[in-house]
Amino acid sequence: MHGLRPRLIAMDCVDSGRFDVLRWLSRPASRAMWWALAAVLGAGVVRTGLQAPDGGMDNAIVIKAARTWLEGGSPYDDPHFLYLPSAVLAAVPEVLLPSWLLRYAAPALVTGALVAGWVCALRLYGLGLRSRYAALGLLALALGFAPFGHLIVLANWTVVAAAALPAALLLAHRGRWTAAGAVIGAAIAVKPLLVPVLLLFLFARRWRALAAGVLVPAAASGLAALAMPDPAGFFTRTLPFLFKGDDNFVRLYEASPAAVLPRLGVPQGAASLLALACAAAGVWCAWRRWGRGDAGNGGWGKASPARLGESAVMVMLAAFLVSRPSYDHYLLVVVPLLLAGAGQEGAPARMAGFWVAMVPQVPGFGWPFLETPYGTRRAFKDAFTLCVLAVTVGMRCVRRDRVPLPRARTLEVAEPQGERAF
């Protein structure tokens, strides 16, 4: 018994220190902290505006497609326009903006959508919007996660998915499944990145939500296609381009194993089969995570934040493993959700694999043999992050939750009542 006393005292100190940190993070952030965050986000917008006359390279592709349509041409004449017909109509307002305003408006809207997605992720996990964790978490994404800055510079419409997914999960957590399906459907109508999330509605047997997620983009794209000179262009041009994946420019930045492994000498057929197998395993992990529910909640009933977030993230990571193309900024669809859920017991963000996966994404650090003048080897770093992150979340999905045991009296005193929500 005497040998156990020092160990209990050590556990008490560690546990007390952990909850002291959580308590500090849950308190309101200072004005200086918010001003620092505003300065960082504002600097990103201004920098992009000074560099990109069309608000970002990827945004320029969409604007060009909308302008082509207004002039009577087909948006799908550009092979890099990888969107549904409804996205053409969504881009028309940008065409009408003067160039001096667009170059700042596009990155500002992207930044605002990223902030909105972070806010929804925080609310999903019940975190305070004025807390230090809210401010420092977003500051960490802006300064320490390279895809955040890349997305603002490119002004890619991936940002719609990054904002819509946590918003839809928040609605689902509150029991508004049909509204969640409509949000996912609206995001798909702009960019079909969140199509894999429809599996989540299938897992949950929420048929109305699934119908909303399918019918909203189908109706929007169908009506928009009627106004196109080439109504079937998405099916006859875009889909073959995506499946073939032989564009020399695109291949240099694809993070999918199906694109990266052939660059290392693996036959394309074997690489595609391996990526497909990994994606299938990821879907199975997501299904297991959803079916497992949460400790004490009982299987298929309650949709807790961790159950929703981890299942959705796993489905998306599985899709990124096999999709062509698969870029680094796609990670912004899942990483903020994982970071917001770090307060949950056993969360993926508490696992070492999460932080190992983030290491290649730290801005400003040069990796030997991977840094080239034109960044053509960046895909290797992105593929490492994607694969390690998928394995980490997959391990969390298939791992059984531990049954909570009675805690020692010293530990109960060390954990203040009400701090568990953080």
What band does 373 get if pLDDT is binned at 50, 70 and 90?
low
Query: In the prediction, which pLDDT does 406 show?
Result: 45
Write down the pTM of the prediction.
0.87
Q: Give residue-wise pLDDT tens across range 11-48.
A: 444 445 556 777 888 889 899 999 999 999 999 999 99
Cβ-proximal residues to 199 (8 Å cutoff; 6+ apart), any chain: 283, 286, 315
Do residues 179 and 71 lie in contact, with contact meaning Cβ atoms separated by under 8 Å? no
What band does 397 get if pLDDT is binned at 50, 70 and 90?
very high
- What percentage of the chain carries pLDDT values higher than 70? 84
pLDDT(390) > 60: yes
Do residues 208 and 178 lie in contact, with contact meaning Cβ atoms separated by under 8 Å? yes
- Between 417 and 311, residue with greater pLDDT: 311
CB neighbour burial string for 36-60, b if at least 16 within 10 angstroms, e if fewer = bbeeebeebbeebbeebebbbebbb
Q: Bridge partners of 131?
A: 28
Q: Give residue-wise pLDDT tens across range 285-340.
A: 999 999 887 654 444 446 899 999 999 999 999 999 998 888 899 999 999 999 99
Do residues 272 and 258 lie in contact, with contact meaning Cβ atoms separated by under 8 Å? yes
Q: Give residue-wise pLDDT tens across range 38-70.
A: 999 999 999 998 887 777 777 888 888 888 898
Query: In the prediction, which pLDDT does 303 show?
Result: 81
Q: Domain locations in the chain?
A: 31-402
Q: Is 260 exposed, middle or buried (0-12, 13-18, 19+ CB in 10 A)?
A: buried
Q: What is the mean pLDDT of residues 240-266?
A: 78
Q: Give residue-wise pLDDT tens across range 227-245.
A: 888 878 888 887 777 666 5
